[in-house]
Structure formats: C-alpha cells, structure tokens
Structure 1
Amino acid sequence: MGSDWTTLGEYIKVQGGFAYKSQDFLESSPNKVLKIKNVRFGAVDYSETAYISDDLALETSSWSTREGDILISMTGSGPNAPQSLVGRVARVWKDEPKAWINQRVGRVLFKEQNNIHPDFVYYLLTQQSSQEFLVSNSSGSANQANISAKTIERVPCPRIGYQASKKVSEILTSLDETIILNKKINQTLEQMAQAMFKSWFVDFDPIFDNLLEKHNNNLEKASAYLTAKGALDLIPKLQKRHTIQQTSNYKPLPDHIKKEFPNDFQHHEDMGWIPDEWQDKKVRDLLELKYGKGLKKSERIEGHYPVYGSGGINGYHNSYLVEGPGVIVGRKGTVGTVFWESKSFFPIDTTFYVVPRKNIPLQFCYYLLKGLGLDTMNTDAAVPGLNRENALSLSCLIPKEQLLSRFDKMIFSYKNMGAILIQQNKSLESIKERLLPKLIGGKIDLREEKRK
C-alpha cells in the first residue's frame, strides 16, 4: 500500500434500488423494503420498513439483499442535518433479515471477484473524507441533496491488492463485531428488564406462585379457593402459571424477593381482581409530566448533550435542560413514544419529561409509561398530540415501597452493565475512528516481518 490512488469505479459499480410504486406497498408481509431512511450509519434499521407481496418480491429478486451488501443513501440532507446526511453507508451484517432495496438506495456491486475485499470498500466509504466528498459533490438543496451512481464511483480509492485490503478489513471488522455484540447484549438486558416488569406488575406471576404455594402447589385446591371467592377470571391465569412451573426452564424467585409479594387477590370495584395490599392510583400520583423547551434547529448541531424530540434524538446542544438520568415522552408529532436517557439531556417542546414523586423510582415510571398505550392516545386532528391530563388520569397499580425499591435495584444492575458496554463501545469507536484513515491510506504497514 502506498500513495498510488485511483477511484472506486475501477473496482465497483453502483446498482440503484427498484422503483416500487406506492400501491405496491402492504401493511405487513415477510418481505421488507428498505427506503433511504432505513440506511443508517454502519447498519440497516429494520424497525420501520415498507412491505411487498411474495409475487413482487420474486419478480424483483435482483434487488434483494445478502449478507455483506454495502448500501448507500443516494438522497439525504447536507451537513446541517448530520443524522440524515446524504451518502450514509450501511452494511448488511450476519443474521440480518432479507430485504429489498427501494429507489434512491444504492448497492455496491463488484466488477471482479477477489480484486478488492468488499469490507475494504465499505470502510473506505464510511471514512470522513469519503463522506465529505459525497456531500460536496451532491446536487439539489441542503434539505434534499442527491448523489448519483457515478458520483459514488468517483470516490478516491487507493490501488490495493486483495490480500492487503483483506488485512485492513479484518482489523476494522473485528472492532465492529465487538461493538455489535455489545449492542446485542445491551438489547438483551433491556428485554430482561421489560420482561421482569411485565412478570411482576402486569401478569402478577410471583403472586400466582405464592397463591399456589399457599395451597401446597395443588392446582385443584387453589382453583377451588378462587372459585369460592368468585374470582373465576383468575383461574385460567393460575392454570397457565401452574403449567409454566412444570417446565424445565422455570426458575422460582429467591425467597427474600418472593416474600415481598402477596399471596392473594382482592376485588376492586373498577379494576376487578388486583393483588392484595396493592393500591389503585392515577399516573399523576406517581409522576409529573413537564413540558420541554423550544430549541431552534440551528442550535441542535453541536454539543455534548442529546436533544430529544418526540421521535428520539434529533441533535446535540452545548447545555442541558434536565439532569440525567431521565425519561422523555413524545407529546407532538410522534405521540406517546417513551425514551430512557442515562445522561443529562435537552427535551424540546414536542416532548414531556418525567419528574417522579417522592419514593417512586424513575425506572418504574419508565416501564409503566411504556405499557400504558400512550401511542394510541392522539387527541389532535391536524397535528398528532398527547393530552397531558388524559395521560395523568390513567389508572395504575402500585405495590409497597419495599417492592418498588427491590425492582429499582435489580433494574439498576442491568442499566449499570449496559452503561459499561456503551462506554466500551465509545472507546472502540474512537479507536476505529483514529485507525480508519491510516489503514485505508496505507500509513500503517501490515506486512509481517520476515524471520531472521
């Protein structure tokens, strides 16, 4: 590797996505269609895709993705809106779903096999100098910039052999794979936290366990007890829980946690059968929803603190409004979204932020709000909106403070592990950012020294 440079067009060509029509899209199907918004920095976002029929998927199979594909957004914004920048590059990683690319999503195709390693091209396109080249050579406006296949093919590229490009790719891929693994572990931790909240405070699994134990784990006796109380609607849930207890993966709670749950249910006039000693409350009894503050788009470009709109992070600012950790709720636009932010942040005026009441853990508020269906509570016709009073008037069940505290400590351990992984990823990203231009530009000699 040296200073001999050419352009990517020597090695690749760019295939444009298929021009699906609006009437082609379905509400759901197994066949996901990727639009430019799904091409994120380094990875594909499959959360909000379009869908097509099986017949159309088969007809347009030449536009279906495979592991290792390099995708690029050919329409986007200029540098004033970095999150939607034109020329974003994503890689289809291992075990990702098959999808189909829509128009204005480009895919890199290689002119010859084993001429240059595909991952080298991916990392070349992601480095800052290549991103700047694509933005500066785009056409259109700052709000809708466009690049062509020819523009992508004109990106400067070193002349490099396959083996040398493979060595560079292996170093960078190993960093990325660790980053992806950490993200997956973090997702698993969050799923565990959500599952715990649902099990404890929605399905009441520990209470059914205690009720069965009170009757010597005899399903017939426990069912007869509920029948005598008139709690007939609890019997199917009791039977389901008893069945789960018979499976090999059932793990009972430790005694010191189990004893913090009641072993029976009481009847509530409005809510039906609820756990003994738990209280019927309104959301307002647990927390306040405070309004975010207006912030111009031009003020969301630089800074250390994430700026939250109703759709999530939409920029960064040099000061914060709320000291973290915190919970953000979508108020206008994307209604009822609920976000957790571990550090200090700036919620704008399309959001609420949560202030818990005394002795109510913030993490309990977060999972409670996520399960209340706030996203279905749009009250404005023209602009989607969440009415604060309607949200605060929703009913909820609250256990004793000791159990809330126990839940908070257990979830904190998950969050703490996740924070460590996030910090590790930041370090890995920093290392990759420093290495990337040096490796691509051949400034690090990767040749093995000959043994004497």
Structure 2
Amino acid sequence: MSKFPREVLGELITHQKGFAFKSKDYQETGIPVVRVSNFTDDSIDTSDLKFVSKEIANENQKVALKTHDVIIATVGSWPKNPASIVGKTICVPSEMNGGLMNQNSVILRVNSQCETDQKYLFIALKTKLFSEYLVSTAQGSANQASVTLSDIFSYEVEWPEPHIRRSIVSMIDSINQKIELNRQTNQTLEQIAQAIFKSWFVDFEPTRAKAQVRASVAEGRIPGSDQNLPLDFSKEDEEKLVERAAMAAISGKTPEELDQLNPEQLKQLKNTAALFPDALIDSELGEIPEGWEVKTFGEVSKCFDSKRVPLSKKKREEKKPGNIPYYGATSVMDYLNEYIFDDIYLLLGEDGSVIKEDGSPFVQYIWGKAWVNNHAHVLQGINNVSTEHLMIFIQSQNIAAFITGAVQLKLNQGNMNNIPFLDAGKKINNSFYKFISPLYEKVREISEENKTLMDLRDALLPKLLSGNLAINEVTI
C-alpha cells in the first residue's frame, strides 16, 4: 500500500499525439522522425531513424520532441512479444531534442514545466504496475493491441511532496547515468569491432593498400606521388613500402604515427600485415582478395536449434521465480529458474520479427545460462570463424532475399545456411579474433554491470514510489 497520495495522470500533464508522416517524404538526411519501432526499453535507438526536410518539420512542430519528454506507445503487441509491447514507455534523450514523433504514440509533459517533475513522471510510469495496467486495458486482435488515451490518462500515479520527488529523481538519475555511460561505452566498443571488420572484410583496405603500392612501383612511380622511383630502388624497398602501407591501413595511423609505436606494437602490426594478400581477383561477390574463398554461412556456423525448447506461458510459470533469461526472436521474453544453454551464442530471429527495414536481421548476442524458444536460431562460429565474427558479418548483411512468407516472415535454416560468406582463411580470421576478443570481453563485463544496476533500480523503484523506503535508508 502506497504511503504517498495518488493523482490522476490526465490532470498532471498536457499531451500530444504523434503525427502520421508519409513514407514518400522520408529522405536520407534532415530532421529525424522517431517511430515506435525505434523505442528501446527506456529510450530511443538512433541507428534506424527516418528523416524529413526542414520544411516538413516546420509544418509539424507540434510533434517536435524535447529532452525528457515521456512517450507512450499506444499501439503494439501483447506481452508475448515484449520488445514491441503496447504501452512501452520511454524518455527522450538529449540527442533527440528537436526530433519529430511519428504516429501510434502520445507525448506527455507535466503542467508544472518543471524538469524534476518531468523526470519524476517517467520514473513513476516506468513501473511494472503501470505496464500491467496498460496491457489490462488494451484492446485489439491476436497480433496487435492498442490502448486509448482515456485509459492512459485515467491511471492514478504516486505524486508525493516536491522535496520527495526531487530526492527520488536524484537517486534514480544517478543510477541511470551510470547505466547510460556503460551503454555508450559498449556502443563504442562494438563500433570499433565493426570498423575493423569493414576495413578487413568489406573494403579490403590492407589488401588494396598493398596492391596500390605494387601498381605504383610497376609504373615506376613513388607510391602516393607523381615522382619517378630512384635509380637505386630495390625489391627490398618495395617490400618495405608494401608492408608499411598495410600496417597503416590496419592501424588507421599515418607513417609518422607508426614510427611512434613501441617495438611490440610494431611487431604485431607487421605480423598482421604479412597475412594479407596484395592482389584482388574477380569472384561471384565481385572483387575479393586473392586466396580468399566464397563459402556459405552454414559452412562457418554450427546450429543448435535442435536443443531449443518452446514453453507456453503456463509452463514458464512453473519454472519461476528465476533470473535466467528466456529468449524469443528479438529479445528476452521472461525469466526462469532452469536453462538449456550455457555458453556464448548468436541468436537470429527465425520467424515473426526477422528483418529490419534495411533488410538486416534481428540479432542477439548472449552468454551464460539461457533458455531459447523456437523463434530464434541458436548459433556459434566454427572452422576458425568466431561467434563474434559471425555476428558482425550477419549484422552487416541484407538478408531480404533469403526470407520467405508473406504474412509470417521466416528465415528457415536452409536459406540461412546458404547466405554467402567470404572466408579469409584461418590465419586472418584468428588474427581478427585477437583484435576483437578483448572488446567483446569488455562488452560482456559492462553488460553484466548494467544488469546489476538495473536490478537495483527496479528493486528500489516500487519501494521508493510507495514511500515504504526512505531515501536516507538507501546507499548506492
């Protein structure tokens, strides 16, 4: 029982429904448009935004977003698909200030126009109680649910005295800031891994750098200039230039910066540079480095789908309480006290939510004890291709051509295994893993820290909001 007074939500806020922007108005750059599909658990994923012109944005300033706006998805799925659940509630991050809100959503702002109250509003609505209330009032078909504004605004939210609201906001803010900083760090680590992959396996920069030096020397020119080679230029000189070009491509450093590296770093770079060929050849995928081989996804992955076990809601209830994630096609759907997997795996959506608008697949990187239902393929890399390598590769692919089904999209195992994969060979693949392995080890470590922080926050919230736990009783 709450010790704090409750206020009707509709009396505390003003609101604005999202606008139905037309797909024909979308363009590559401009003012970002946020769709409910961009919602994360509590914020906005900026990696898949749409954009409109300034002119269209100026005509729709009523749906312009402000930092700390609270947004509720008024249309979504039922709880069986928590990633897109109706009533998902998020807070607008500072980088989306000035963006525009698309349809199937409502923006909430407190009447007081106080930043602390706005933050408190999000905290007070980011509870299991509010989420369950919205689901209980939702209506719709088997695959889509919607909640009315009147039902949203009828909810009674805990609204204590201003000094208590400030204290709660201060405490939860400190936890959320740690979580967000960790998320940004992980995003940076993954971007570094993806950049290395793109350089080596997509743009072939080390190979191209070598090939360009060879071509210049063959023409009698000093690489990177129009000057002729000196008369005493030797084969040994050429090999040194080839090596340095590849080292610069791999490290992203200039020749001057290479000279500043310590001997151990230079040795590692030289060894890595030596692995790359110095010529490109034609293949079914276009130009690829000489000696590399076009294989299939199935040849470099091991599928554990036969170990999956789907559980009905009733069966899941029998395996509670627990903290072991139960994964679906795109996200964690529940938590259990039993597991069937205990390792590092790549999950690819098999049916339902299979691909994003850009054609890339829904991917989950998991580790430790887990249970996976039959809506996600369970995979590991094999034959000198790491699971992380496999993941970065598939994240970069447009797999639309391998998807079947008109109403229920599906990536069946046969089609998945036929996706072309460019294999650079054991030595380069292993070298790539040495580069990215520490990055993903840190990603896992930081993710575990965030899980602990989120568990702490979620345990504190109901107690703080009910008044059953005083701020001065909490130590973080």
TM over 0.5: yes
Q: Tell me the residue number matched to 2:266.
A: 254
Q: Would the aligned equivalents of 2:281 and 2:287 in 1 still touch at CA under 8 Å?
A: yes
CA 1:184–1:300 in structure 2 vs 1: closer, same or farther (change >3 Å)?
A: farther
**1:122 positional shift:** 1.1
Letter in 1 for 2:221: E
**1:125 positional shift:** 0.8
Q: Tell me the residue number matched to 1:419.
A: 444
Distance 1:425 1:416 in 2: 14
Letter in 1 for 2:266: P
Letter in 2 for 1:327: L
Distance 2:104 2:335 in 1: 31
> 2:320 matched to 1:307?
no
**1:438 positional shift:** 2.4
Q: Would the aligned equivalents of 1:206 and 1:258 in 2 still touch at CA under 8 Å?
A: no
1:110-146: CA deviation from partner (whole Å, max 9, x where unpaired)? 2234497211111111122233333334455675444
Distance 1:270 1:204 in 2: 14
Letter in 2 for 1:307: Y
Q: Tell me the residue number matched to 1:362.
A: 387
Distance 2:95 2:392 in 1: 29
**Secondary structure of 2:42 counterpart:** coil
CA 1:325–1:52 in structure 2 vs 1: closer, same or farther (change >3 Å)?
A: same
CA 1:182–1:13 in structure 2 vs 1: closer, same or farther (change >3 Å)?
A: same
Give runs of aligned pairs for residues 237-276 of structure 1, distance below 5 A: 246=254, 254-262=266-274, 265-266=278-279, 268=281, 270=283
Q: Choose which of 298, 310, 322 in structure 2 pairs with 1:295.
A: 310
Q: Tell me the residue number matched to 2:295.
A: 282
Gaps of 5+ in 2: 230-234, 236-241
Q: Would the aligned equivalents of 1:6 and 1:157 in 2 still touch at CA under 8 Å?
A: yes
CA 1:443–1:245 in structure 2 vs 1: closer, same or farther (change >3 Å)?
A: closer
CA 1:442–1:408 in structure 2 vs 1: closer, same or farther (change >3 Å)?
A: same
CA 1:392–1:6 in structure 2 vs 1: closer, same or farther (change >3 Å)?
A: closer
> 2:410 matched to 1:396?
no
Q: Would the aligned equivalents of 2:72 and 2:89 in 1 still touch at CA under 8 Å?
A: yes
**Secondary structure of 1:396 counterpart:** strand
**Secondary structure of 1:117 counterpart:** helix
> 2:382 matched to 1:375?
no
Letter in 2 for 1:135: V
**1:68 positional shift:** 1.2
Q: How many residues align?
A: 431
**Secondary structure of 1:439 counterpart:** helix
**Secondary structure of 1:419 counterpart:** helix
**Secondary structure of 2:468 counterpart:** coil
Distance 1:141 1:207 in 2: 54
CA 1:377–1:346 in structure 2 vs 1: closer, same or farther (change >3 Å)?
A: farther
Letter in 2 for 1:220: R
Q: Choose which of 347, 354, 357 in structure 2 pairs with 1:328.
A: 347
> 2:187 matched to 1:175?
no
Q: Would the aligned equivalents of 1:16 and 1:149 in 2 still touch at CA under 8 Å?
A: no
Letter in 2 for 1:280: E
Q: Would the aligned equivalents of 1:12 and 1:110 in 2 still touch at CA under 8 Å?
A: yes
Q: Tell me the residue number matched to 1:83.
A: 83
1:274-312: CA deviation from partner (whole Å, max 9, x where unpaired)? 656x44252354334565658366467877234242xx2
Distance 2:347 2:160 in 1: 48
Q: Would the aligned equivalents of 1:80 and 1:142 in 2 still touch at CA under 8 Å?
A: no
Percent identity, aligned pairs only, is 19
Q: Return the structure number with greater helix share.
A: 2
1:339-395: CA deviation from partner (whole Å, max 9, x where unpaired)? 432335555555544344444433333334444x35243364746555736854735
Q: Would the aligned equivalents of 1:40 and 1:90 in 2 still touch at CA under 8 Å?
A: yes
Distance 1:143 1:273 in 2: 44
- Segment of structure 1 superposing worse, 252-261 or 299-308: 299-308
Distance 2:203 2:24 in 1: 40
**Secondary structure of 1:377 counterpart:** helix
**1:320 positional shift:** 5.3
Distance 1:300 1:81 in 2: 15
**1:59 positional shift:** 1.7
CA 1:187–1:249 in structure 2 vs 1: closer, same or farther (change >3 Å)?
A: farther
**1:432 positional shift:** 0.8
Gaps of 5+ in 1: 229-233
Distance 2:132 2:423 in 1: 53
